Amino acid sequence: MKTALITGGTKGIGKAVALEFLKQGYEVVLNYHSDERSALATQDEFNMLGYCPVLLRADVSDELQVRQMFKEFFGIYEKLDVLVNNAGISLVRVIQDTAACDWDKIFNVNVKGVFLCSKAVVDRMIGNGGGSIINVSSIWGEVGASCEVAYSASKGAVIAFTKALSKELAPSKVRVNCVSPGVIDTEMNSHLTGDEMQGLIEQIPAGRIGYPEDVAKACLYLAEADYVTGEVLSVGGGFGK
């Protein structure tokens, strides 16, 4: 029996990743932070499909909460095969209007959260003979986005984190990879107007926006690909290339 924990696993990309892993027979734990109603609704939805994911609440930017979450996880399961660091927040704002507290909040969730969750599991993964850490970045972490400097910088940091940690952990058979979604149909992009979305679609060689399921399939591949580590797998239909 393989296990997976997905941070931010009850909405959008995280929810699709969770379902993909459940379909493949994984025992799945869904992390969420504040939206308990949505988390319970997702759990109920999966229950109706015949799956029984576990919900664990934690703010991934809070070290004590992260430690407690994994203490609870390892109280249920002996090992963790796959960690998907998906939890993230965005900010659309020109730099002149970006306060230092905005910057800190973005980096605390998008970067510090990846660090804390990864740190919490590596010893266990090493002790169990290996594992897979998958970090969710963004195409903006590769090419940058106007009016999203803080978000783009945080996602670029996730890419650098992935490449460095993959080298550190490869000898211990813990693989660290990254998915880099392009324009995906999620709540995070709901601020875009119809014209703005159409303008982005016109820049995508594949001719459509992506769906959370597209990213989920990439995550499953990285979870199972035993000889792949340190990679950034773009999931964007050729956007930004």
Say which of 26, 51, 77, 151 is annotated catalytic.
Answer: 151
DSSP β-ladder status, 3-6 and 82-85? parallel
Instruction: Clarify whether 151 is annotated catalytic.
Output: yes
Give the ranges where 49-136 is alpha helix by DSSP (H). Answer: 63-76, 100-107, 113-127
- Residue among 107, 125, 109 at smallest CA distance from 223: 125
Three-state DSSP string of 199-234: HHHCCCCCCCCECHHHHHHHHHHHHHCCCCCCCEEE
- Residue among 1, 51, 61 at smallest CA distance from 30: 51
Q: What is the dihedral of CA 42, 133, 2, 74, to 10 degrees?
A: -80
Q: Do residues 77 and 3 lie in contact, with contact meaning Cβ atoms separated by under 8 Å?
A: yes
Which residues are catalytic, by number? 151
